[in-house]
Chains A and B, each alone.
Chain A
């Protein structure tokens, strides 16, 4: 038996020994099931917001929630009022080329498999060499944020937990401000789309898009190195 066969045999052995919770008798729970299906996503979203706001009032829960809602270099806060009038069309500094950004950035810059090369590329040297890739036609922007102390804050209308490649991610919806905390506290960029945030090997990714959650996740999961 070679090494691979030995590994597979051990996996089989452990897998069949796995202890599951008792299987519920589903044949006798039709009514409850129908209720489960009937309760819609909208209801769950509404309850989530109520509970989240209430939970934030309890300090220990608030601390735990803040931990849950922070992902990578991004912190997400709920329920903050919009502090200033939005400034639309804020241009990012540091426009460059993909090749130049790749030469400067400390991390790889993966691209969505099914999209052409980005139309515009920005290197935000004041914010930890964050690279922003923009696809203008698709109204899509991908922030690639290297590991480091940089913290960005969002205050969106709603937040959902999701996954990208099986790992925790956050999906925020609605217009909101992105605050770059590290080097220029108070500097805010107004975001008009939804945002998907996830991390991979210490790198934080933010995908700004007008797409819906499922489509955003598909793009996120299609990132490949070129």
Chain B
């Protein structure tokens, strides 16, 4: 069975065709090919593994529901990551997030939350989370998920030149935040 970490559009196309015809194992393979990217993007945007799992799950279910609309000559991952981004953005606004915060408050009464592993990567993430959502998104896609700029253009539905300019702008804003609010990160940066 296809297990490569590199996304192969041809294999996606074949799996999509089989999934459309109702072959459940083909759909499960598609999910397993892409679930890591989808889950990780949702986690970076939301900061909560349970919420990220919910968003990833919903991403695949929505994709399955609308698989007939998908142009199988195109790679599947940009479509998935676009849906995951939109769902994450909506979820940040949803009351469900507040509900989770309340649950956490309750748990905090029972036991203190464990200390976060404050390595530089985590600190960088905290700095990025101070940016606007659009800036966060391009930085996560390009540097954390290592999505090529051409694929980012497809996810964001913009020209490749726009991807470059958004990355440039996002990095400049990130540098300002690091300098002013995360001095501990500066020696490494």
Binding site for B on A (CB under 8 A): 4, 7-8, 10-12, 14-21, 23-30, 32-34, 36-37, 41, 44-45, 47-48, 51-52, 55, 58, 60-61, 64-65, 68, 159-163, 165-166, 213-214, 217, 221
Contact = CB atoms under 8 A, between A and B. Distances in A.
Interface string B115-143: 00101111011000111110010010001
Contact of A60 (B61, B92, B109): B109
A55 B154 CA distance: 45
A11 B35 contact: no
Interface size for chain B: under 10, 10 to 19, 20 to 34, or 35 or more residues? Answer: 35 or more
B9 interface: no
Contacts of A159: 98
A14 B125 CA distance: 9
9 contacts: A7-B189, A10-B189, A18-B125, A23-B36, A28-B28, A36-B54, A44-B94, A47-B99, A60-B109
A21 to B, nearest CB: 4
B158 interface: no
Interface of B: 27-29, 31-32, 35-36, 39-40, 43, 49, 52-54, 56-58, 60-61, 92-99, 101-102, 105-106, 108-109, 117, 119-122, 124-125, 129-133, 136, 139, 143-144, 146, 171, 174-175, 188-189
B144 A15 contact: yes
Chain B interface secondary structure, helix, strand, loop or mixed? helix
Given A37-B61, A41-B96, A27 B31 contact: yes
Contacts of A41: 94-96
Nearest to A67: B105
Q: Which of A15, A30, A37, A214 has the most CB of B within 10 A?
A: A15
A165 B39 CA distance: 22
A24 B53 CA distance: 7
Q: Which of A4, A33, A60 has the most CB of B within 10 A?
A: A33
Given A17-B121, A55-B102, A160-B94, 12 more contacts: A10-B189, A14-B120, A15-B121, A24-B35, A25-B35, A26-B57, A41-B95, A44-B95, A51-B99, A65-B102, A68-B101, A68-B105
Contacts of A26: 31, 35, 39, 53, 56-57, 60
B94 A24 contact: no
Contacts of A52: 102
Contact of A61 (B106, B124, B129): B106
Contacts of A37: 57-58, 61
